[in-house]
Structure 1
């Protein structure tokens, strides 16, 4: 089989999506404590106001703000302290003109009060008189009922990946459980007669399996559950048996190795033998990672990654990560933090090909620079030493030193 004209990444994903009819996020309910990093499968509306009452943001005295207008150190406002508001209790009194109440941070404001004077701007006297040395405006040092979240308001949208602050908001609204997308199961298969598991001794000509672990880590990072099949020999029947088993237990199969053109190119033949439509794409316009395989078998996507560790990781980020987003119902372009930085050297590129350059970020005179970490796609150390990938768009012939590039951080 010869490598036909390579498609751009977006075109390859479009072809794949057109041939997938069964990908639809499935939902399940989980406890809030287990929801970090999960993707919402429904919109979240607040069942109540947050906060549910007017509350103080400082330690001080609740007052009627107009009673403090014009107050200063030389001529303080004189108010009568009529009580103290305890935390977690509703005040059983309301303020009248000229009155104040002691209150702590988070305490519930008494009726008719509309501001809080901070302790440091007051002087309480033994007879219950309070000297206020600074005026406060209406609403000063107060969070109003529903100011944070309004009852019935949309707080979080379906497809949102939950962060710690989101869990706090959900807890504040009283949620104990939340509906999220079921995590897709991803089978990870490495192929190659020369590949050995990490625990085995290797002979000359052999190398240890790195891809199973980098790919499994990426699956976890982007919201899937990895099932590592280990290393499979370059044998048609063995690869076919492993892929068949993987398709039974998973939503997505990722194979590394066996995607280059040559006499030992077994992955393509295996996938075409397992069912229609089989291989859809063999080769994408990207470096590193051109000999990538994209297939559909039994309605499930199967991705053949290049065997070189760097190429495998780069292609996972560009091809497999969006597929995981389809399963989870989150935006397809969901991903890592992107920054702009100046490239530290000239880099050439071929027209029509998307290039991803490993870079290390440095601060130089207050500017962010991307220093290429050069090396062949078999050198995993280039990924370890770098901070992210700089993208060279397919319409460009390269970038010049000092030109801005987009860098996606790992």
Structure 2
């Protein structure tokens, strides 16, 4: 089978307009449902109040209804006596009326008697026979919710297209609505394609990965006001993909598929529309990064969105193209995403001719908020999970300099980082993170080795570097740290060669070691060569992954902190002592976060927790 090429690349706006030229994005209709069935539904009509809320003036405290002017001179030293002439209970009508120097006992929620315009709290009174002694003056309306003070008759309370939340449903109930008109919910069929994909929950085998897109897209479909229908994972087979599309056309109002949209030999999605109906394929290729291999099609009045297989690409294109279209047919209001201006933390080179959507997270710095690019690539699942928003870079921009102001389109959940912590993993750092987060500091951490962390420190993207080195003061001197970096703490950590049962380190052993670039990798290999020959190496990012390797295979030896070997009941022999060093920019130490970090590291509780390490 020969490769195809992309048709003319179009912009996001051009792609949406092309689809709308064939499928009008209009709501499917309206139905009336019980109020108990409306949570999460989209309101199909404007709600105009037909009554006042509250429908009568009522007490909002337990106490005594009075004329406010009669309490003008009341005080603790000069209390005023009012004759109690009756009582009003919540839920009961009343024909009582008060006159000057009279009061009526009243419950919270009860109708305000005629003549009264305030309610004094029961705790501000005392009783003397048939009289209430009032010890404070009141203003008119005190202790009272007047008729229509919450909602007035004729007020526009909610607009068509709003999603119904618990609070809004409560308001509708208060206005007397037992049945509500809502938009019909479109059904959206979702499936993923790829020979490498497995459904979550199955055992992961070599060369396979779990399907991410079907489930993240399904959640987004719900946020767009629609019902997801999961059709599962399909292999890269023409008939299977075509069969899934036919199934989707039969059971749903729209289809979202991911994978198989590129121009490779095994990417078939763009071919399967032939013969299914018109108009068929509409767009194949978006001038965007990520998201170039996106297709839009339609069979009759049913739109089909073919998203790239890489998760970041798929979700970015969903936000830009699928979400606005599905919101239109579900009746849900389009949301204008909040934006803010921020300096870009690092220099960024963009590809000319394609609009780039760059995921970023926000962090505080001495310059204010800065946007830090997340450069995991289109396949990095964590990129959008950890992002606070996206920077849109136009087609004609090739370079954005460090600190240049950019506009960030914010995601709904934004968590601005107070501190970015990078470098080597260690149990010590887990304690530091736990204490910082417990004290209210928002920390982003990425432990991918000393050299990776050092690069982020040099670019001033990160604030705190963790360097695990052999227990020798000279070990840190091997690295070129920025001039304004200071060591703020150092803790001992004993390392061991850990194994399952009676296993031991010998020639031919398979060893689990930290990735190349970690502070301990080179030293560990030097020590091994003195003990064994012809060893094989499995690289891992974390010590938890090393433990998994031991427990799953049981014939390997891993470099672990002594604490972790004991925790999992592993056998071990001593390897070497290390230092877990913490280095930070000097400017951090004068900030609220820096001072809190130093207090934690010097505290007796923290050092006691480190004792087993």
TM beyond 0.5: yes
8 A Cα contact 1:341 1:407, kept in partner: no
Q: How many residues align?
A: 407
Aligned-pair CA distance for 1:369 = 4.3
- Is the counterpart of residue 104 in structure 1 residue 112 in structure 2? no
**Residue in 2 that maps onto 1:185:** 187
Deviations, residues 42-99 of structure 1 (Å, cap 9, x unaligned): 1222232211110122232211122122333333333222222222222331111221
Separation of aligned partners in 2, 1:71 and 1:378: 73
Q: Which residue number in structure 2 is paired with residue 2 of structure 1?
A: 5
CA distance in 1, matches of 2:75, 2:270: 83
Alpha-carbon distance, 1:336 to partner: 6.7
Residue 271 of structure 1 aligns to a residue whose secondary structure is: coil
Task: Choose which of 119, 123, 126 in structure 2 pairs with 1:124.
Answer: 126
How far 1:301 sits from its partner (Å)?
A: 0.4
Q: Secondary structure at the match of 2:161?
A: coil
Evaluate the alpha carbon distance shift between residue 230 and residue 69 of structure 1 in structure 2; reply closer, same or farther with a 3 A threshold.
same
- Provide the rounded CA distance (Å) in 2 between the counterparts of 1:139 and 1:321: 48
Alignment partner of 2:31 out of 28, 32, 36:
28
User: Which shifted more, 110-119 or 65-74?
Assistant: 65-74
Q: Per-residue CA shift, 1:159-207, capped at 9, x if unaligned? A: 1111111011011112222111121111112112232333444554333
What is the CA RMSD across the aligned residues, in angstroms?
2.6
2-side partners of 1:266 and 1:301: how far apart? 18
Q: Residue in 2 aligned with 1:382? A: 383
Give the counterpart of 2:58 among 55, 58, 77. 55
Query: Could you say what secondary structure the match of 1:273 adopts?
Result: coil
1:338 touches 1:408 (CA, 8 Å); kept in 2? no
Give 2:273's aligned residue.
Answer: 271
Q: Which residue of 2 aligns with 1:38?
A: 41
Question: Match of 2:374?
Answer: 373
Q: How does 1:46-85 map to 2 (within 5 A)?
A: 46-85=49-88
Q: Tell whether the 8 Å contact from 1:350 to 1:394 is kept in structure 2 after alignment.
A: no
Alignment pair present for 1:287 and 2:289: yes
Distance 1:226 1:336, change over 3 A: farther
Secondary structure at the counterpart of residue 262 of structure 1: coil
Contact kept, 8 Å, 2:374 with 2:387, in 1: the verdict is no
Q: Tell me if the contact between 1:51 and 1:144 (Cα under 8 Å) persists in the aligned partners.
A: yes
Contact 1:356-1:389 at 8 Å conserved across structures: no
Whether the 8 Å contact between 2:291 and 2:308 is mirrored in structure 1 is yes
Structure-2-length-normalised TM-score: 0.62
Q: 1:353·1:394 contact (CA, 8 Å) conserved in 2?
A: yes
Answer whether contact 2:74 2:134 (CA < 8 A) is retained: yes
Structure 1 residue 275, shift from structure 2 partner: 1.9
Given that 1:392 and 1:399 are in contact with CA atoms closer than 8 Å, whether structure 2 keeps it comes out as no
What CA deviation, in whole Å up to 9, does each residue of 1:121-171 have, x standing for no partner?
Answer: x33232333333332222222111122122233221111111111011011
Give the C-alpha shift of residue 109 in structure 1: 0.7
- 2:214 equivalent to 1:217: no
Q: Which has the larger radius of gyration?
A: 2
Deviations 1:257-295 (A, max 9, x none): 111123333211112432222122122232211211111
Give the aligned partner of residue 95 of structure 2: 92
Greater helix share, 1 or 2?
2
Retained in 2: the 8 A contact 1:349–1:396?
A: no
Contact residue 42 and residue 182 of structure 2 kept, 8 A: yes
> How many angstroms apart in 2 are the aligned matches of 1:96 and 1:233?
84
Contact 1:60–1:103, Cα closer than 8 Å, also in 2: yes
Which residue number in structure 1 is paired with residue 169 of structure 2? 167
Shift, 1:372, TM fit: 3.0
Q: Distance in 2 between matches of 1:172 and 1:262?
A: 58
State the partner residue of 2:391.
391
Q: In 1, distance between residues paired with 2:86 and 2:354? A: 74
Distance verdict in 2 for CA 1:76–1:270, change over 3 Å: same
CA pair 403-109 structure 1, distance change in 2 beyond 3 A = same
Deviations 1:292-332 (A, max 9, x none): 1111112110000001122112211221111221111122x
Is residue 225–residue 332 contact of structure 2 (8 Å, CA) maintained in 1? no
- Which is further off, 197-206 or 55-64? 197-206
- 1:194 alignment partner in structure 2: 196
Kindly tell me: are residues 368 and 326 of structure 1, through their superposed partners in 2, closer, same or farther at Cα, counting changes over 3 Å? same
Q: CA deviation at 1:403?
A: 3.0
Shift of the 337–37 alpha-carbon distance from structure 1 to 2, 3 Å rule, reads farther
Counterpart secondary structure, 2:411 = strand
Equivalence for 1:245:
247
Report the equivalent of 1:205. Answer: 207
Structure 1: runs of 5 or more not aligned? none
Cα 1:90–1:348 change in 2 (3 A) is farther
Is 1:310 the counterpart of 2:312 in the alignment? yes
**Inter-CA distance 176–342: structure 2 relative to 1 (3 Å threshold):** farther
Q: TM-score, with normalisation over the residues of structure 1?
A: 0.90
Displacement of 1:357 after TM fit?
2.8
- Secondary structure of the 1:125 match is strand
Q: Tell me the distance in 2 between the aligned counterparts of 1:68 and 1:342.
A: 59
Tell me the residue number matched to 1:409. 412
- The answer to whether the 8 A contact 2:9-2:287 is kept is yes
Q: Residue 272 of structure 2: SS of its match in structure 1?
A: helix
